[in-house]
């Protein structure tokens, strides 16, 4: 076999397939890790503080999130936060943390419904998930979430767009390699919502999935769609055992 052909074939081999999930934090440059770890330097903390304000802001009926969940969320259980998405018997489908925020916003506070991608929902999600920072992701897929997990797994492994690529091509086969100025990670969700240096924005998982699909020149599914929700079940469970880093900092 010619040397140049052998080299080309080696490039197609996985760089690393870790037995246990590895956070995107492990692929960051040292200065970016320092930025994430320092609450005064982490730009995602701005969104967190805006979420804290929303958490204490009265709704249309006079109630607040803090009124149910304690000042600064003191009554919220970090382990329960780390278990999202969870299965809702009443709705007969998975409920993401963002879904739960919308339900509380409408039903508990009596507010006019927000759009799914409303910045207030993003800030609240950042604030609430940060309460579980350091807690290990623990999505239970042995019960009623199992079929939704399997659907999400199929989406993760399906080819999309003009480039005919799937999520796993980047995140299972090439973590650690460079692409368009950034180092590929294993694609775990333990840092979301997170601050992206590449866009200068606080970014939800929904937003990031849409960005990825656009980069594949693929059809972008609507936010709150079933396919996104199932994919979130799979992605979060895929990272079970990783510590929550919200708000993480990524490229």
What letter would DSSP give residue 71?
G
Cα atoms found within 13 Å of the Cα of residue 143, Cβ hemisphere only? 11
| Strand 194-196 versus strand 178-179 pairing type | unpaired
* pLDDT: which is higher, 109 or 181: 109
Distance from C-alpha of 208 to C-alpha of 134, rounded to nearest angstrom:
22
Cα atoms found within 13 Å of the Cα of residue 109, Cβ hemisphere only? 23
Name the 3-class secondary structure at 224. Answer: coil
The CATH architecture of the domain made up of 24-250 is Orthogonal Bundle (1.10)
**pLDDT tens, position by position, 117-150:** 899 999 999 999 999 999 999 999 999 999 999 9
**pLDDT tens, position by position, 60-96:** 999 999 999 999 999 999 999 999 999 999 999 999 9
Distance from C-alpha of 194 to C-alpha of 44, rounded to nearest angstrom:
6
Percentage of residues in the chain having pLDDT higher than 90: 81
- Establish whether 65 is a catalytic residue: no
User: pLDDT-derived band of residue 7, with 50, 70 and 90 as boundaries?
Assistant: very low
**pLDDT tens, position by position, 218-237:** 888 887 789 999 999 999 99
Q: What is the mean pLDDT of residues 204-222?
A: 90
Which of 65, 167, 170, 212 is catalytic? The answer is 212
**pLDDT tens, position by position, 30-58:** 999 999 999 999 999 999 999 999 999 99
Query: Which pLDDT does position 111 carry in this prediction?
Result: 95
Query: Which pLDDT does position 15 carry in this prediction?
Result: 47
What letter would DSSP give residue 27?
G
Cα 212 to Cα 142, 174, 206, 219, distances in angstroms: 29, 15, 10, 11
User: pLDDT-derived band of residue 5, with 50, 70 and 90 as boundaries?
Assistant: very low
Cα atoms found within 13 Å of the Cα of residue 238, Cβ hemisphere only? 24
Task: Answer yes or no: is pLDDT of 180 > 50.
Answer: yes
Distance from C-alpha of 145 to C-alpha of 237, rounded to nearest angstrom:
10
For all residues of the chain together, what is the average pLDDT?
91
Distance from C-alpha of 96 to C-alpha of 189, rounded to nearest angstrom:
13
Contacts of 166 (CB under 8 A, 6+ apart): 156, 157, 158, 159, 160
């Amino acid at each position: 076999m010619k040397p140049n052909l052998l080299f080309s074939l080696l490039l197609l081999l996985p760089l690393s397939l870790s037995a246990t999930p590895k956070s995107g934090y492990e692929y960051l440059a040292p200065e970016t890790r320092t930025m994430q770890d320092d609450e005064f330097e982490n730009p995602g903390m701005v969104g967190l503080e805006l979420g804290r304000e929303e958490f204490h802001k009265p709704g249309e009926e006079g109630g607040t999130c803090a009124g149910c969940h304690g000042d600064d969320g003191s009554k919220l259980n970090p382990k329960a936060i780390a278990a999202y998405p969870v299965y809702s018997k009443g709705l007969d489908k998975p409920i993401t943390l963002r879904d739960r925020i919308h339900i509380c916003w409408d039903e508990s506070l009596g507010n006019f419904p927000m759009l799914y991608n409303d910045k207030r929902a993003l800030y609240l999600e950042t604030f609430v998930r940060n309460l579980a920072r350091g807690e290990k992701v623990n999505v239970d897929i042995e019960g009623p979430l199992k079929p939704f997990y399997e659907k999400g797994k199929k989406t993760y492994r399906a080819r999309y767009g003009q480039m005919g690529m799937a999520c796993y091509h980047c995140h299972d086969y090439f973590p650690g390699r460079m692409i368009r100025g950034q180092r590929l990670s294993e694609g775990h969700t333990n840092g979301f919502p997170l601050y992206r240096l590449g866009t200068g924005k606080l970014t939800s998982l929904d937003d990031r999935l849409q960005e990825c699909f656009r980069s594949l020149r693929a059809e972008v599914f609507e936010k709150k769609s079933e396919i996104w929700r199932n994919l979130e079940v799979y992605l979060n469970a895929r990272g079970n055992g990783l510590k929550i880093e919200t708000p993480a900092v990524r490229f």
